[in-house]
């Protein structure tokens, strides 16, 4: 899975008025049940091996136009411990009949859901003997409105349904032993309204029309865990093709891109791009695509993407694009498609033994997404995004509240918390760092050996580490990897001159100003692959002790993270910082990102000065790498958004951005019409988008905003070419600001009247982040329209909370409706997104209010994220108290 939703885009408005967000009624099966003593203790995590599944036959009747569906499930099992009771999984299923078939005998049973996570107890009238048996279930259940389990969406007057089962939502679609270590073949049958299409993991082998229905039968799958099963139905459209044969695969691979009808004319780019990415992945893994066909499927409310074996699922905008799409959209396509397709080997063919090991799937796939995406289209500079994501993860990893990448998971409620920036951003960066230290060929050989040994089976973190150690031939690799995966925190490497090109280096755990880190954390050490560059000289060594000495004979500024590939922050004496900052425009992109991150971290820890931050903004803004240039003023803008700057400092920041970004935009030129800059290289196109955003938003350039607003007028009047989609966010914001509530109503109607995967969400985002109290109140308390989907209803509140002038009102509303929000059915990431949305405050009082939410998050996957939010808000309050005056004075002096 690759999650694209950020905290500011997860939750949404119109919650109070939307019937779909009323707290769901508890089903009869979800009520607490009395557990007989003979059944043993209810498993809160792993089920154990008393009964083990060997094969599934799933038969669904799906009419997406109806709120509920029916199913018949048969599970061939091996009973290792005979008895009347079987612990398994089923979430909000209305089970009508359960029987066990044993040696020609049928034994009746009853099914009861035992807890809110979907642990279920099946009680049989007679004990099941040891040996082979078949469990059969007839049941019905409801489609979800959000992207979890089996969900449905109304698109252009027609209904469609999809499945999203990771991590533990397959149990909401069929009775199951829903954990990754149980890997079996599945035979799927889907009955739909006549004429509709159905999709699953394996190729469709036949259809049969029975009156008003069509029965779709699929071939048996290769062994899969339940979370990778795909079940989809609706009036889909597709473009069909094949990935040509490669040295690893002798025959073409059947390939389709499948979507809803409004997207029919924008699927060819994804078809062609997927072919190239599959070929690059086969070359890396040294083996053929591991499944007999590949479907790439889109859904309008999918929060990112999901690697269902042979049937990947994506949010619409990831696949619905053409050659005229923005650089950002193409980068997302390349990275996310490469990520999900890498999972077909690493996660699907070789699956985790338990959720403890999911970090390995996601961290590796994240690294592969950037790597293979970059191989596919080097002109898009996709690879540099890996470093940006890794450094961003350090802001989470720096908190005292947190977790290591590789964390023991004992309860179902802990599983979803593993899908966070630590797994993706930090994990991907650490994999990249280890691969660089081992050498690309040795690391690849280790991956290939791991895949071969566990093909179509399960494996653990220890298995992967063992394969890497064998390939490396270096005993230091294993403890170095484990020091980053098995302990929380960001290493800080502090440099002090030792004379004649030598430096004393000391490692410690990075902590922010005011943070009271426990002694154990402060004593941590890592096996840091430390690489330095000074001019043309470069040296690397593994720093395993608390301190050491490193020598480098070079000229110019010292760059303590050569290439930016190291997962660590560095601290320099003031003079060396000033020298490095002065070189900001000339540093390679990855090194520029590393320097920006470490300098900002130094300020947050109470060391770097405001003058250095302002100097860095000027210097790095001129860096030719779009990632580095975009990050130059980001921290200062974040301080402004969090209320740390005085009014005079706000004006100074506006002047600073205009100073460093205005000439760049003027040099590039700007025409908002669609395709006006299509001839520019991709990085230049992306730079223009970022420049327009900063000059329009932060610098408040009146002439630019007038040009953007005029383009929106043209778009609203029916000229689709008046505004390039790359500028939707900036343009809608500029257009809406002077128009207030009436303008918000116009944009809302425009959004709800289209299925365009870029226009619709951009218009809704503009309304959510209007920064206008009247708009926020209307959106949250008054507006109601059935065309607004649950996922869209879960967008405006977070944006309103993140906007300074609506933050207090929106937060007060969220504070009064916490339980309603948490019960809205928004899927795997919702419980964490609410804490993320409120983490931008900078107040001790707000931290106390947020802390009062803890009882609402008990045994909830968002509990960790809530504690992180509290720490972030408290830390910001300390920073504001101790450093905002000096920072404000420095910015106010900008002329």
Per the domain annotation, does 557 fall within a domain? yes
Helices within 228-357 (DSSP H only): 268-285, 316-319, 327-345
Averaged pLDDT for residues 61-65: 98
Element (DSSP H or E) covering residue 821 = helix 818-822
Q: Are residues 124 and 244 in the same domain?
A: yes
**End of a domain among 299, 319, 345?**
345
Q: In terms of DSSP bridges, do strands 94-102 and 186-193 run parallel, antiparallel, or are they unpaired?
A: unpaired
- Tens-place pLDDT, residues 92-136: 999 999 999 999 999 999 999 999 999 999 999 999 999 999 999
Q: Which residue has the tokens 């929000």?
A: 821
Q: Are residues 553 and 604 in the same domain?
A: yes
On the question of pLDDT at 302 being above 90, the answer is yes
Return d(Cα 642, Cα 802) in angstroms, integer: 9
Smallest CA-to-CA distance from 431 within 388, 386, 381, 462 is with 386
Q: Are residues 762 and 824 in the same domain?
A: yes
Q: Which two tokens stand for residue 103?
A: 């040696």
Q: In terms of DSSP bridges, do strands 204-210 and 158-164 run parallel, antiparallel, or are they unpaired?
A: unpaired
Smallest CA-to-CA distance from 649 within 392, 873, 395, 880 is with 880
Q: Are residues 663 and 789 in the same domain?
A: no
Return d(Cα 417, Cα 405) in angstroms, integer: 11
Q: Are residues 848 and 816 in the same domain?
A: yes
Smallest CA-to-CA distance from 447 within 335, 284, 299 is with 284
Q: Are residues 214 and 125 in the same domain?
A: yes
Q: Are residues 4 and 114 in the same domain?
A: no
Return d(Cα 727, Cα 84) in angstroms, integer: 63
Q: Are residues 73 and 116 in the same domain?
A: yes
> How much is the CA Rg of the chain, to the nearest whole Å?
27
Per the domain annotation, does 379 fall within a domain? no
- Tens-place pLDDT, residues 683-709: 999 999 999 999 999 999 999 999 999
On the question of pLDDT at 7 being above 50, the answer is no
Q: How far does CA 1 lie from the centroid of its chain?
A: 7
Of 285-289, 444-448, 558-562, 799-803, the one with minimum mean pLDDT is 799-803
Across the beta sheet with 528-534, what order do the strands follow?
A: 537-543, 528-534, 558-559
On the question of pLDDT at 831 being above 90, the answer is no
Return d(Cα 799, Cα 811) in angstroms, integer: 11
Tell me, what's the pLDDT at 615?
98
SS3 call for 513: coil
To 10 degrees, what angle do helices 427-438 and 358-376 make?
70
Tell me, what's the pLDDT at 516?
82
**Cβ distance 130 to 102 under 8 Å?**
no
Smallest CA-to-CA distance from 287 within 453, 461, 500, 484 is with 453
Look at the chain and report how many structural domains it folds into: 4
| Predicted model pTM | 0.94
Of 31-35, 97-101, 317-321, 878-882, the one with minimum mean pLDDT is 31-35
Per the domain annotation, does 387 fall within a domain? no
Averaged pLDDT for residues 288-300: 98
Domain that holds residue 560: 491-566+568-624
Q: Are residues 3 and 133 in the same domain?
A: no
- Tens-place pLDDT, residues 651-667: 999 999 999 999 999 99
- Say how many CA atoms lie within 13 Å of 202 toward its Cβ: 18
- Give the chain's length: 895
- Tens-place pLDDT, residues 166-215: 999 999 999 999 999 999 999 999 999 999 999 999 999 999 999 999 99
Q: Provide the 8-state DSSP code for 84.
A: E
Helices within 530-681 (DSSP H only): 574-582, 589-604, 610-620, 626-630, 634-641, 647-668
Tell me, what's the pLDDT at 839?
94
Smallest CA-to-CA distance from 425 within 369, 379, 467 is with 369
Tell me, what's the pLDDT at 424?
93
Per the domain annotation, does 303 fall within a domain? yes
Per the domain annotation, does 338 fall within a domain? yes
Tell me, what's the pLDDT at 11?
33
Per the domain annotation, does 458 fall within a domain? no
Averaged pLDDT for residues 345-369: 94
**End of a domain among 676, 703, 728?**
728
Q: What DSSP string describes 727-788? A: GHHHHHHHHHTTTHHHHHHHHHHHHHT---TTHHHHHHHHHHT---HHHHHIIIII---TTS
Tell me, what's the pLDDT at 20?
34
Smallest CA-to-CA distance from 89 within 197, 167, 143, 14 is with 167
Per the domain annotation, does 369 fall within a domain? no
Mean pLDDT of the chain: 93
- Tens-place pLDDT, residues 125-169: 999 999 999 999 999 999 998 899 999 999 999 999 999 999 999
Confidence of residue 29 (pLDDT cuts 50, 70, 90): very low
**End of a domain among 315, 345, 375?**
345
Q: Are residues 649 and 617 in the same domain?
A: no
Q: Are residues 246 and 108 in the same domain?
A: yes
Confidence of residue 352 (pLDDT cuts 50, 70, 90): very high
**Cβ distance 304 to 5 under 8 Å?**
yes
Confidence of residue 825 (pLDDT cuts 50, 70, 90): low
Task: Please report, for the domain that includes residue 536, its CATH number.
Answer: 2.60.40.1910
Return d(Cα 268, Cα 178) in angstroms, integer: 36
On the question of pLDDT at 830 being above 80, the answer is no
Averaged pLDDT for residues 571-600: 97
Per the domain annotation, does 474 fall within a domain? no
Three-class SS string for 411-434? CHHHCHHHCCHHHHHHHHHHHHHH
Identify the burial level of 219 via C-beta atoms within 10 angstroms of its C-beta, where 0-12 means exposed, 13-18 middle and 19 or more buried: middle
On the question of pLDDT at 268 being above 80, the answer is yes
Confidence of residue 27 (pLDDT cuts 50, 70, 90): very low
φ/ψ of residue 793, rounded to 5: -65, -20
Q: Which residue has the tokens 């309304």?
A: 767
Q: Are residues 23 and 49 in the same domain?
A: no
Return d(Cα 358, Cα 364) in angstroms, integer: 10
Tell me, what's the pLDDT at 773?
97
């Amino acid at each position: 899975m690759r999650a694209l939703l950020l905290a500011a885009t997860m939750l949404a408005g119109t919650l109070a008025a939307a019937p779909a967000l009323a707290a769901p009624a508890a089903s009869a099966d979800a009520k607490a049940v009395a557990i007989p003593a003979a059944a043993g203790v209810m498993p809160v995590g792993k089920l154990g091996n008393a009964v083990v599944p060997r094969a599934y036959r799933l038969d669904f009747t799906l009419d997406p136009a109806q709120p509920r569906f029916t199913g018949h499930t048969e599970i061939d099992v091996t009973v290792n411990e005979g008895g009347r009771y079987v612990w398994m999984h089923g979430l909000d299923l209305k089970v009508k009949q359960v029987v066990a078939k044993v040696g020609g005998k049928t034994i009746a049973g009853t099914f009861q859901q035992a807890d809110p996570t979907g642990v279920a107890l099946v009680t049989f009238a007679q004990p099941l003997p040891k040996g082979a048996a078949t469990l059969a279930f007839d049941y019905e259940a409801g489609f979800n409105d959000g992207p979890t389990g089996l969900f449905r969406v109304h698109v252009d007057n027609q209904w469609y349904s999809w499945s999203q089962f990771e991590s533990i939502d397959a149990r909401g679609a069929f009775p199951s032993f829903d954990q990754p270590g149980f890997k079996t073949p599945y035979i799927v049958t889907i009955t739909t309204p006549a004429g509709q299409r159905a999709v699953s993991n394996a190729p469709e082998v036949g259809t049969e029309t029975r009156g008003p229905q069509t029965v779709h039968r699929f071939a048996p799958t290769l062994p899969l865990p339940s979370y990778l099963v795909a079940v989809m139905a609706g009036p889909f459209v597709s473009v069909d093709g094949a990935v040509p044969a490669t040295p690893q695969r002798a025959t073409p691979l059947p390939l389709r891109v499948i979507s809803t009808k409004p997207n029919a004319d924008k699927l060819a780019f994804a078809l062609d791009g997927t072919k190239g990415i599959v070929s690059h992945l086969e070359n890396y893994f040294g083996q053929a695509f591991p499944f007999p066909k590949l479907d790439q499927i889109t859904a309008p409310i999918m929060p990112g993407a999901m690697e269902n074996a042979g049937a990947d699922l994506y949010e619409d905008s990831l696949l619905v694009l053409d050659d005229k799409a923005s650089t950002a959209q193409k980068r997302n396509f390349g990275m996310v498609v490469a990520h999900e397709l890498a999972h077909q080997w690493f996660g699907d063919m070789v699956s985790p033994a338990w959720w403890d090991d999911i970090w390995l799937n996601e961290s590796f796939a994240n690294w592969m997404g950037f790597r293979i995406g970059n191989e596919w289209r080097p002109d898009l500079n996709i690879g540099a995004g890996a470093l940006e994501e890794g450094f961003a993860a350090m802001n989470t990893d720096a908190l005292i509240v947190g977790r290591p990448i590789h964390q023991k998971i004992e309860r179902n409620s802990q599983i979803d918390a593993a899908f966070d920036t630590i797994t993706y951003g930090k994990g991907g960066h650490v994999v990249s760092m280890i691969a660089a230290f081992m050498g690309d060929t040795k690391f690849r050989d280790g991956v290939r050996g791991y895949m071969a040994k566990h093909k179509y089976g399960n494996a653990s973190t220890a298995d992967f580490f063992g394969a890497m150690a064998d390939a490396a031939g270096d005993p230091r690799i294993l403890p170095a990897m484990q020091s980053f995966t098995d302990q929380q925190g960001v290493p800080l490497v502090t440099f002090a001159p030792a004379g004649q090109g030598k430096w004393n280096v000391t490692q410690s755990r990075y902590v922010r100003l005011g943070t009271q880190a426990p002694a154990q954390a402060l004593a941590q050490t890592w096996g840091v692959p430390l690489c330095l560059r000074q001019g043309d000289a470069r040296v690397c060594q593994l720093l395993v002790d608390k301190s050491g000495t490193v020598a480098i004979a070079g000229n110019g500024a010292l760059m303590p993270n050569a290439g930016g590939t190291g997962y660590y922050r560095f601290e320099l004496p003031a003079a060396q910082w000033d020298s490095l900052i002065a070189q900001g425009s000339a540093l390679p992109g990855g090194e520029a990102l590393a320097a920006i991150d470490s300098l900002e971290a130094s300020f947050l820890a109470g060391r770097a000065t405001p003058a250095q931050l302002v100097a860095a903004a000027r210097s790095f803004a001129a860096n030719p790498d779009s990632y580095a240039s975009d990050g130059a003023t980001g921290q200062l803008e974040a301080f402004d958004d969090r209320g740390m700057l005085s009014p005079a400092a706000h004006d100074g920041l506006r002047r600073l951005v205009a100073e460093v970004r205005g000439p760049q935009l003027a040099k590039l030129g700007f025409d908002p019409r669609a395709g006006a800059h299509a001839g520019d290289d991709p990085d230049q196109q992306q730079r223009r988008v970022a420049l327009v955003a900063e000059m329009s938003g932060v610098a408040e350039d009146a002439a630019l905003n007038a040009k953007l607003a005029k383009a929106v007028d043209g778009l609203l009047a029916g000229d689709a070419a008046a505004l390039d989609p790359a500028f939707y966010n900036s343009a809608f914001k500029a257009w809406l600001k002077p128009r207030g509530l009436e303008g918000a109503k116009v944009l809302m109607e425009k959004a709800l009247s289209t299925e365009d995967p870029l226009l619709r969400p951009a218009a809704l985002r503009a309304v959510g982040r209007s920064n206008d109290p009247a708009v926020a109140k209307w959106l949250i308390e008054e507006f109601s329209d059935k065309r607004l989907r649950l996922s869209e209803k879960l967008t405006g509140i977070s944006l309103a909370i993140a906007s300074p002038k609506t933050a207090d009102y929106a937060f007060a509303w969220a504070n009064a409706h916490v339980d309603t929000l948490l019960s809205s059915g928004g899927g795997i990431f919702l419980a964490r997104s609410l804490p993320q949305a409120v983490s931008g405050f900078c107040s001790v009082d707000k931290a106390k209010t947020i802390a009062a939410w803890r009882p609402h998050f008990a045994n909830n996957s968002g509990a960790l994220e809530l504690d992180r939010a509290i720490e972030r808000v408290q830390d910001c309050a300390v920073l504001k108290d101790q450093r905002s005056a000096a920072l404000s004075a420095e910015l106010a002096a900008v002329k």
